[in-house]
Structure 1
Amino acid sequence: MDIPGKWNDVLVHQTDPYNAESPPGALASQITPLDSFYSRNHSSIPHIAPEGWRLRVDGLVDRPLELSMDELRSRYPERSVVATLQCAGNRRADLIEIRDIPGQVSWGPGAISTACWRGASLADVLADAGVQPEAAHIAFTGADVSQQAEPPQPFGGSIPVAKASSSEVLLAWAMNDRALPTAHGAPLRVVVPGWIGARSVKWLKRITAQAEPSDNYFQIEYSILPAEADPHRVKQADGITLGPIAIHCAILHPGKDAQLPSGPTEVTGFAFAGDDRTVERVDVSVDHGVTWAHADLDPPENLWTWQHWRATLTLPPGETELIARAWDSTAAVQPESLTTVWNPRGYANNAAARLHVTCRP
């Protein structure tokens, strides 16, 4: 399996399919190094020869297309966007501590990363194909065939036409000023900023304009079920399909269960609002939420990236629980309790971040 450098510092949960999250140090930078960028896969990583690859654009379009990589790069202007991608299962490990979630990857807070992406605007390609008025959704199909699906099928999903036609959505062939790595979807992937990573389909081979959302297994799998539901015995209508990411934050420093001197301590982390929202405020507490300190918050690079924050807090001797919560530009705030967001697939955990530390007198 060709994953250069991936074994050095990331937390590897599985090797086949390869699933690994970024370490805290990598998450402290605005741009995540390629070798530390998180990976979420549902099958073995496919290796596709660029010279034989073709992208099909079909469905409810006036002019179906079949494009080679050279045609794609020469036919459409190259565009770029700095965007944060996040797995829908990020911070699932916290939910598992509340109640077990069998068969799911126990992600910590590192199933999130930010890169500078370059490629063609999906909107330009769709305009060239001529999307018909009755098309309401744009579906994507990758080359990675997953045995986890029932029945086995390529990974896929869809987004509404309105999102697909937005200028920020790219068909990316480059990442952090390098050719898109095989591990991250080469030769081409979709990048859907502000939405769960599952909609940014890798190893892209087909784009289909259609009246209804994708019926791909993973379009349906990535949905929130009621807490009492059996995930193996549900209907599509039982879940809320995931798209835009909800406001959340993470504490990067100090580390989990750190041993620290009491007194003034710098606490740092990141927050991410998702969709086209920004983080407006981050609060941090050392007294179980009785009082809150406002953190210093970096401005966003654009609408599609995380924001880093920091606060100097006076930690008392003994055991302390740090709590951080973020607010977004719609005034939405993270819920306080994990129990309110627990669900049987462990998706979309945006409860307030909590971290246990011990301070010496």
Structure 2
Amino acid sequence: MPGIRGPSDYSLDPPRHPSLSVNSKEPYNAEPRRSDLVSSYITPVHFFYKRNHGPVPLVDDIHCYHVTVDGLIDFPRKLFMTDIRMLPKYTVAATLQCAGNRRTTMSKVRTVRGVGWDISALGNAVWGGAKLADVLELVGIPKLTSSTRLGGMHVEFVSIDKCKEEKGGPYKSSIPLSQATNPDADVLLAYEMNGEVLNRDHGYPLRVVVPGVIGARSVKWLDSISINSEACQGFFMQKDYKMFPPTVNWDNIDWSTRRPQMDFPVQCAICSLEDVNTVQPGKVKVSGYAASGGGRGIERVDISIDGGKTWVEAKRHQKPGIEYVADGFDSDKWAWVLFEADVDIPHNTEIVAKAVDIAGNVQPENVETIWNLRGILNTSWHRVQVNVSHSKM
């Protein structure tokens, strides 16, 4: 499209922080170290995980760049960045999480397909831009609309990004129109991240941010928006990111039997420790993140130092100096919660963490019960092994 293009190779990809753990070089997929991930409530852009499906698009002329809005609507139009920036600007603190986060642990049960993510395929940022509900009003769709006059019920986002899964076509995904037109859902067309212009890895010049939903629905490098009668029929909606039971394999899979995954389940992970650690006997700090989809706050994070036999409650916090309340007015409902606890470790043991959200949802105990062939939504108890050394370290 005018102003932006998708390069055919990776030679024009942007530079990245050298400390990132690279899980795939081409396309570039990488995550930060555990300790870097939770070093602050707002994840620095350079430590925010990078999820790409092809070469990163390149903007040649921002003044020519525009987004086409069409489909089952009365007033199709092209929106330039000046049009979008004229709308009221909102900032939303929201955690984006790849559905494949913690896939490496799931793959230890049985082999799965997909990028091998550890526990850091997520990040918490302050996104700035126009609400999608306001954008859709420009094409004649009122707020809180679930169906247009012409029968449109889904909003499809199409990227300039080209990917092999779409046979060289663009990445695309969709959300229900009822969610897109609901101002309280805080769906954004974002042009800023942490108070700065989006960088190329994160969707410059414009991306969708759908809070509380798996990252696959927050389409980057936006090319067009289409109002359709059915959900997006693209690969990443119909043949990926669906939750199957452990009995389904690649020989008996029927993609049509499952809905596309949207909200992500309650999740937490320990970031202050690696999978296996050697420590001195005594106090050990256990800290990490917890998050749940759909705007559900974190009611509790439980820590066990005996593999889950007994538990203590961790302290939770978000913004510095403000008490976190799971459904409080001052809390960021779309954002993660950081937790910490000091525990006494006298001998070798397994430390376990699990979170509970305000709906009472709790993480499953074992990964085996939620194993699926695509390795998505591993929200089982997070476990780390601690070995006690009595020699000086």
Give TM-score scaled by structure 1 length: 0.95
Deviation at 1:233, TM superposition (A): 6.3
Q: 2:56 aligns with which of 45, 51, 54?
A: 45
Report whether the alignment pairs 1:315 with 2:345.
yes
Q: 2:28 aligns with which of 18, 32, 44?
A: 18
Deviation at 1:232, TM superposition (A): 7.2
Write the letter of the residue equivalent to 1:194.
G
Q: Which ranges of structure 2 fall in alignment gaps of 5 or more residues?
A: 1-11, 142-147, 318-323
Match of 2:139 in 1: 129
In 1, the alpha carbon distance for the partners of 2:315 and 2:170 equals 44
Report whether the alignment pairs 1:141 with 2:158.
yes
Match of 1:206 in 2: 224
1:233-292: per-residue Cα shift (whole Å, max 9, x none)? 643323331100100100011233121011221111110011110000011111121110
Match of 1:354 in 2: 383
Contact 2:315–2:340 (Cα < 8 Å) also in 1: yes
Q: 2:129 aligns with which of 97, 119, 131?
A: 119
Write the letter of the residue equivalent to 2:76.
P
**Identical counterparts, % of pairs:** 37
In 2, the alpha carbon distance for the partners of 1:106 and 1:183 equals 19
Report whether the alignment pairs 1:215 with 2:233.
yes
In 2, the alpha carbon distance for the partners of 1:97 and 1:193 equals 30
Contact 1:22–1:113 (Cα < 8 Å) also in 2: no
Corresponding residue SS for 2:46: helix
Corresponding residue SS for 1:158: strand
In 2, the alpha carbon distance for the partners of 1:107 and 1:165 equals 33
Deviation at 1:203, TM superposition (A): 0.4
Write the letter of the residue equivalent to 1:266.
K
Write the letter of the residue equivalent to 1:32.
T
1:205-238: per-residue Cα shift (whole Å, max 9, x none)? 1111112110011112111123233347643323
Match of 1:249 in 2: 268
Write the letter of the residue equivalent to 1:79.
Y
Structure with greater strand percent: 1
Deviation at 1:177, TM superposition (A): 1.1
Contact 1:251–1:353 (Cα < 8 Å) also in 2: yes
Corresponding residue SS for 1:51: coil
Report whether the alignment pairs 1:183 with 2:195.
no
Give TM-score scaled by structure 2 length: 0.87
Matches within 5 A, 1:1-361: 1-4=12-15, 6-28=16-38, 29-49=40-60, 50-74=62-86, 76-102=87-113, 104-131=114-141, 132-133=148-149, 134-149=151-166, 151-167=167-183, 168-220=186-238, 221-231=240-250, 234-298=253-317, 299=324, 301-318=331-348, 320-361=349-390
Q: Which ranges of structure 1 fall in alignment gaps of 5 or more residues?
A: none
For the aligned residues, what is the CA RMSD?
1.5
Write the letter of the residue equivalent to 1:98.
V
1:7-34: per-residue Cα shift (whole Å, max 9, x none)? 3211111121110012223321111111
